[in-house]
Each structure stands twice: as C-alpha cells, then as structure tokens.
Homo-oligomer: A and B are copies of this chain.
Amino acid sequence: MQLSKAEEQLMKYLWKLDKAFMKDLLEAYPEPKPATTTVATLLKRMQDKNFVDYTLYGKSREYYPLVKKTDYFSKHVNGLIKNFFNDSASQFASFFTSETNLSTTELEELKKIVDQQIKKQQQ
C-alpha cells in the first residue's frame, strides 16, 4: 500500500518531528493550514495503511512513524530504477550524475562518498 501525496506530506512532518501530537503536526504545516479534521482523516488512513501508530498519554495521542524515512525512500528509488532503468542501478547513477544539476563541489563530495563505499565493501 502506497501513501498518497497528501499523506506523504504529512509523513514528512512526522519524520522530522520523530513523534508528535496533533497540534505539533498542524503547526508544521505552512499557511494556509488544513483543517484539523483533514489531518485527522489522513492520520487514520495512514494508520490503516500501517505507516503510523500512536501512544496514548492519558487521553492524548502521540503519533509516530512505523516506517523509517530511509526505508520508504529506498523503496521509492528502487521502484524508479526498476521502472525506468530496467533494473540497472548504474544506468540510473549515470543518469543521475549527468541530469541533476550537481555542482562541482557536490560532485567531488559524491566521489568521496562513492570511494568510501567501495572501501567499505572491500572489507
């Protein structure tokens, strides 16, 4: 089950906050904020989809993500790769490098990261 756009947006706030009460989530939204009921609906749907849960503190609920941002995202990217690059990550990497507008500094940084990763894998 996938998150919809609006749910994803809310999820982003929850990931940032790590755990949050309704009011924290509402605060996170920029003007014009959605109605409380809207957020409540989204939260319930996200619960049904098993993306969030909450802890009861007396009567109030503290919501928290059930899915790590990294995992969610990783699934996304891997989906993209599978979908558009016939499952070839390196083809994607190539595309990514030339097509996104990374600055030279960022590219250097990326090179460093890649290098580290290579070293890590050689151990």
**Chain A residues close to B by CB (< 8 Å):** 8, 12, 69-70, 73-74, 76-78, 80-81, 83-84, 89-90, 92-102, 104, 106-111, 113-115, 117-118, 121-122
Question: For residue A108, which residues in chain B have a CB less than 8 angstroms away from its CB?
Answer: 118
Chain B nearest CB from A78 CB (Å) reads: 6
Q: Decide: A97 near B69, CB < 8 A? Known: A84-B12, A109-B90.
A: no
CA distance A15 to B121 in the complex (A): 36
Q: Which of B78, B80, B121 contacts A77 (CB 8 A)?
A: B80
Report the nearest B residue to A8, measured CB to CB.
Answer: B83
Question: For residue A8, which residues in chain B have a CB less than 8 angstroms away from its CB?
Answer: 83
- Verify B100–A117 contact, CB threshold 8 A: no
- Verify B104–A121 contact, CB threshold 8 A: yes
CA distance A111 to B94 in the complex (A): 10
- Verify B90–A106 contact, CB threshold 8 A: yes
- Verify B89–A106 contact, CB threshold 8 A: yes
Question: For residue A76, which residues in chain B have a CB less than 8 angstroms away from its CB?
Answer: 80
